[in-house]
Amino acid sequence: MKSIKSVLILMALCCCTSLIGQDYQQTPEGLKATVNSVDVELQFYTPSIVRILKSPDGWKYVKESLSVIEAPQKVKPAITKEGNTVRLKSSEMEVTLNLESGIVAFFNTKGEPLLCEKGKPEFTDFNDAGTKTFAVKQTFLLDKDEPLYGLGILQNGKMSQRNQTKHLVQGNVEDVVPFVQSVKGYGLFWDNYSPTNFADKPEGTSFQSEVGDCIDYYFMYGGNADGVVAQMRALTGQVPMFPLWTYGYFQSKERYKSQEETVGVVRKYRELGVPLDGIIQDWQYWGHNYLWNAMDFKNPLFSEPQKMINDVHGMNAHMLISIWSSFGPMTKPYRELDKKGMLFNFSTWPQSGLETWPPDMEYPSGVRVYDAYNPKARDIYWKYLNEGIFKLGMDGWWMDSTEPDHLDWKPEDFNTKTYLGSFRKVRNAYPLLAVGGVYDNQRAVTSDKRVFILTRSVFAGQQRYGANVWSGDIGSSWESLRNQIPAGLNFTLTGNPNFNTDIGGFFAGHYNKSWNDGSATKNPMFQELYVRWLQFGTFTPMMRSHGADTPREIYQFGKKGEPVYDAIEKMISLRYSLLPYIYSTSWEVTERQSSFMRALVMDFADDKSVWDIKDQYMFGKSFLVAPVVSAQYTPEKVVKVNENDGWNRNNAQKFEDKAPVDFMQAKSAEVYLPAGATWYDFWTNEKYDGGQKVKKETTIDVIPLYVKAGSIIPMGPKVQYATEKPWDNLELRVYVGADGSFVLYEDEFDNYNYELGAYTEIPIAWNNASRQLTIGARKGAYKGMLNNRKFTVVLQDGTRKVVDYNGKRVSVKF
C-alpha cells in the first residue's frame, strides 16, 4: 500500500514538473522559463543577436559583462508555441526553446538550421575562494564538415579550429577570446572570463569554464564572415581610427640602451633614405629592476627624455615606449598602489632584481602586478604615466605583459582577491581592463592625439580601445612564421582587426654563433627567414621589426646594392606606396566593420577549397597575399624555443653551414587563386583565372602577390615618412576585367575630428563594359584638405591618363 502511494505521489510530481516545464514568461527582450530545474532566459539584443542565460533553478546572481557594451534594443520578437517548442522570430533569425528538454536551437529566416545545443547544461558546485558558485559547461552540435574559426591568437598552426581541445587562458604567446564563427554565417561569444576549455569532439563542441554564476553566451547571425564580425563589434565596441603614421614602418629591438642609440637609429634611416615612421623604446629606461616600470627616466643613459622625444619629432618620426602591468618596490606607483591594497602577490616578470638567467631568487625583485580590474587603480596608473611620460609628448604606448605574466603559478594564486572577485573569475579579461584604462584616460585628457597602443594580450571587446595586438615573444623559426598567418586570421575573425608580430621572431639567438661576428644578420639562414617574415609583415596592420639577440635595423643586413638589403628596402617602400589604400581600408574597418587581414573564407566562402587555407589571405578587399613560409635558399633548421627558454643566452645552437647563397636564383612557390574572380600578378600584370593553383617564380625580393580584377588601388608618392607629401597626384591602378569600386578616405590624420564629421570620401568606380572610370563627387570636408588635385589612371596594358579633379564628378573612358 505504501509503495502504491509513493508511485502516485511521484506520478503527481512528474505531472506537475511537466506542466511547469511547458510554461514560459514573455519578457520585453524575449522569454524566461524553467526547464528541468534550470532557469533559462532568451534576450534579443538586436534582430541579429540573442543572449542565452542559464542557471540552476532559483539561483540568484548579478552578471555585468566586461566585454559587452550594447544594451538590448526594443526588438520584440514574434513568439509562437507549437507543442513543447517555443519559437522566437526576429527579422534576421529564429530561435527555439524546447520546453521539455531545455535545448535552444538557432535558424536563419528560411528555417534552415544553424546551430543547436546538445544535452543539458552542466553546473558543478565550486568554492571560489570562499564564494559559492559553479563550474559551467554547454555543448553544441555542429555539422560534421563545418569549419569553425576564432578563439584568439593561437600558435597551433590551424585555420579551422575543429577537432581539438584547447585550454583558453591568457599567456605570453597566446591570447584567448572565447568566440567562434562558422562558415554558415553565425558567431558564438561565450561571455566568461575564467580559464575555459574549448573542446571539439565527434560527440559535440563545448565551452567549459572553471567558474561562473551562470552560463552566458551570445549567438549572432551575420550571413557571412563580415556580417558576423559586424555583429560582434556592435555587441562589444567599434574600432577607432589610428593615426596615419601608425601604418608606416616601425623599428625596434630588445633594447636600445641609451637615448643616443634610440635617436641614432632614426637619424641613420633618414641618412639612408629608407622610410621610417616609428621608433620604439623597450624596457629599462627606468633603471634597474627594483625600479621596474617607474614611468620615469631614472637610467642615467636616458637623462634628457624631453630632448630624446624632441629629437625624434624633429626628424618627423614618432615614438612608442614600453610600459608594464607591474611595478618594482622602489617606484612611486608601487608605493601608492600598495598602500591601497591594489597589488597582487603572485610571481611575475622579472622575478629577480638582478639581470641574470635563470633568475637569482636570492635577490627577488619584489615586482608586483597591479589590480587593473579596479577603476581607481587604473586612474592611479594613468596619473603616473601622464605626469612622467605623456606630457613629454610621447606618441603611443607599448603595453607589455598585459596578460599579465603569471610565472611559476600555483593553484592558490587564482584565489587572489581582485576588485571584481577572485583572479580565477576574471583572469582572462585582465588585458581588456588594463588597455582600456589607458585608452579611456588618454581620451579624457585630449582629442588632439589619437590613442595608439601596442599590446601583448587581448580579450573580447578590446578592439574599441585603440590597440594593436602582437603575438608575443615567439621564437625565430620557419614553423613560427607559418603559425603567425592563421593566428592573425583567426584573431581577426573574432572581431579585432589589429594584429602584428615581431618581424623575424623575438628569440633569434640560435642563429648567432655560426658567424664570426656573432650576428644573425650576417647569417644567410636568418637573413632568408627575416626577409620572408618582413614581406609578410608588409601586409599586416602594423609593420614592426623587433626582437632579441641580434639587431634588426636594415643597415645591419648589408648595404644598398646587396640582395638582402635591397629586398628589405623594396618592401618598406612598397608599404609606403600603399598608404592611401591602407588608410582608406582603415576607414572601412572603422565605419563599415571591415577587416585588414581577411581569411580567404571571408570573400570566397562558396569555394570550399579555401575553407582551410592557412598560408594565404586577402589584405583589404583587393590583394591576395601568399607569403613564402618555407626556406628556399638555406637549410630550414627545426628550432623549438619558448618565451622562458629564450632568455637563456647560452642556448644558441651552432649552425655550421656557411656555403655562399645566391638569393637572386629563381625559385618558385605554389598559390591557389580562389574561384569567382580573375587575378593579376602584382609584379608582372599577368592575368589568371580563379579556381586553380599556379606556380609563381620567386627570388628573395619577390613573393606571390595578386590583385583581384575590378580592384582600384591608389598608390602614394615616394616618401620618407607617412605625411611628408600630400596626396595631390595619386596613381590609380585599375585592374580591368570586372566592375569595381573604391572609396578614397582622407582626414587630418591624427586627431578625433573625424568623429565630428571632419573627413572626406571620394568614391571611385570602374565600369568594365564601358571601360569607364568615374571619380565621384567628394563627400565631406576638413581643414587643410586638397581642393584641387590630379589622379593618374593606369591600366594593366600601360595606358595612362591624367585627370584633373576639383571635387566634382568626372569620368574618363579607355
Verify that 297 and 187 share a domain, yes or no.
Answer: no
| Domain that residue 743 falls in | 726-813
CATH number of the domain bearing residue 767: 2.60.40.1180
What's the predicted TM-score (pTM) here? 0.95
Verify that 32 and 160 share a domain, yes or no.
Answer: yes
Verify that 225 and 314 share a domain, yes or no.
Answer: no
How far from chain centre, in Å, is Cα 682?
Answer: 27
Q: Distance (Å, rounded) from C-alpha 40 to C-alpha 56?
A: 9
Verify that 211 and 304 share a domain, yes or no.
Answer: no
**In a domain? residue 664:** no
Look at residue 347 and give its three-state secondary structure.
coil
User: What is the residue-wise DSSP string for 130-151?
Assistant: TEEEEEEEEEEE--TT--EEEE
Look up cell 638567467; give the residue: 357
Q: Distance (Å, rounded) from C-alpha 626 to C-alpha 730?
A: 26
Verify that 287 and 210 share a domain, yes or no.
Answer: no
Look at residue 297 and give its three-state secondary structure.
coil
Verify that 730 and 789 share a domain, yes or no.
Answer: yes
DSSP state of 505: -
Domain end, chosen from 424, 451, 478, is at 451
pLDDT tens track for 399-419: 999 999 999 989 999 999 999
Look up cell 572577485; give the residue: 421
Which residues, listed in sequence order, are joined to residue 543 by a DSSP beta bridge? 249
Could you tell me if 419 and 377 are in contact, meaning their C-beta atoms sit under 8 angstroms apart?
A: yes
CATH number of the domain bearing residue 430: 3.20.20.80
User: What is the residue-wise DSSP string for 364-400?
Assistant: B---EEB-TTSHHHHHHHHHHHHHHTGGGT--EEEE-
Give the burial class of 454: count Cβ atoms within 10 A of its Cβ; 0-12 exposed, 13-18 middle, 19 or more buried. buried
For 382, the grid coordinates are 594613468
Q: Which residue, 224, 221, 219, 275, is CA-closest to 248?
A: 275
Could you tell me if 40 and 32 are in contact, meaning their C-beta atoms sit under 8 angstroms apart?
A: yes
Q: Distance (Å, rounded) from C-alpha 557 to C-alpha 34?
A: 67
pLDDT value at position 16? 35
Verify that 134 and 30 share a domain, yes or no.
Answer: yes
What percent helix, strand, coil does the chain show, rounded to 5?
A: 25, 30, 45
Question: How is the beta sheet containing 789-794 ordered, strand by strand?
Answer: 712-715, 729-734, 789-794, 800-805
Verify that 357 and 424 share a domain, yes or no.
Answer: yes
**In a domain? residue 8:** no
Q: Distance (Å, rounded) from C-alpha 683 to C-alpha 423?
A: 52
Verify that 225 and 288 share a domain, yes or no.
Answer: no
Q: Which residue, 211, 219, 138, 207, is CA-closest to 182?
A: 219
Strand 467-470 versus strand 499-500 pairing type: parallel
Could you tell me if 462 and 496 are in contact, meaning their C-beta atoms sit under 8 angstroms apart?
A: yes
Tell me how many degrees the CA angle 661-665-669 measures, rounded to the nearest 5. Answer: 110
Domain end, chosen from 204, 236, 268, is at 236
* Residues recognised as catalytic: 400, 403, 473
pLDDT value at position 717? 98
Verify that 88 and 166 share a domain, yes or no.
Answer: yes
Q: Distance (Å, rounded) from C-alpha 668 to C-alpha 695?
A: 6
Look up cell 542565460; give the residue: 53
Domain end, chosen from 451, 483, 504, is at 451
Query: Which stretches in the chain have pLDDT values below 50?
Result: 1-21
Q: Which residue, 687, 30, 713, 568, is CA-closest to 274?
A: 568
Q: Total domain count for the chain? A: 3
Verify that 183 and 39 share a domain, yes or no.
Answer: yes
Q: Distance (Å, rounded) from C-alpha 655 to C-alpha 653?
A: 6
Residue 480: count of CB within 10 angstroms of its CB: 26
CATH number of the domain bearing residue 98: 2.60.40.1760
Strand 789-794 versus strand 729-734 pairing type: parallel
Verify that 230 and 342 share a domain, yes or no.
Answer: no
